[in-house]
A and B are shown apart, each in its own frame.
Chain A
Amino acid sequence: MVLDIGARSPDFTLIDQTGSQVTLADFNEPVVLIFYPADWSPVCSDELSVFSAAHRLFQDRGARLLGVSVDGMWCHQAFHAQRNLSFPLLADFEPKGAVARSFGVYRESDGITERAIFVIDATKHVAWREVFPIGENPGADGALREVEALS
Chain B
Amino acid sequence: MSSGATLAIPVGPKDHARGSADAPLTLVEYGDYQCPYCAEANPIVELLLEKFGDAVLFVFRNFPLVDVHEHAEAAAEIAEAAGLQGKFWEMHDVLFENQKDLRESALLHYAQNLGLDTSQIQNDLATGQPRGRVEADFEGAIRSGANGTPTFFVNGTRYDGSWQLEMFETYISKVLKG
Contacts and interface: CB of A to CB of B under 8 A. Distances in A.
A47 interface: yes
Contacts of B8: 141
B142 A50 contact: yes
Contacts of B142: 50, 54, 57, 139-141, 144
Contacts of A83: 67-68
Interface residues of A, number: 21
B124 interface: no
Given A136-B3, A136-B160, A49 B65 contact: yes
Given A53-B138, A57-B142, A139 B147 contact: yes
Interface in A84-107: 84-86
Contact of B67 (A52, A137, A138, A144): A52
A35 to B, nearest CB: 16
Interface string A129-141: 0000000111111
B68 A49 contact: yes
A139 B145 contact: yes
B51 interface: no
Contacts of A54: 142
Contacts of A47: 147-148
Interface of A: 46-47, 49-50, 52-54, 57, 83-86, 136-142, 144-145
Interface of B: 3, 5, 8, 64-68, 138-139, 142-148, 151, 158, 160
Given A139-B158, A140-B142, A141-B145, 20 more contacts: A46-B148, A49-B65, A49-B68, A50-B142, A50-B147, A50-B148, A52-B67, A53-B66, A53-B138, A84-B67, A84-B68, A136-B3, A137-B148, A137-B160, A139-B142, A139-B144, A139-B147, A139-B151, A141-B5, A141-B143
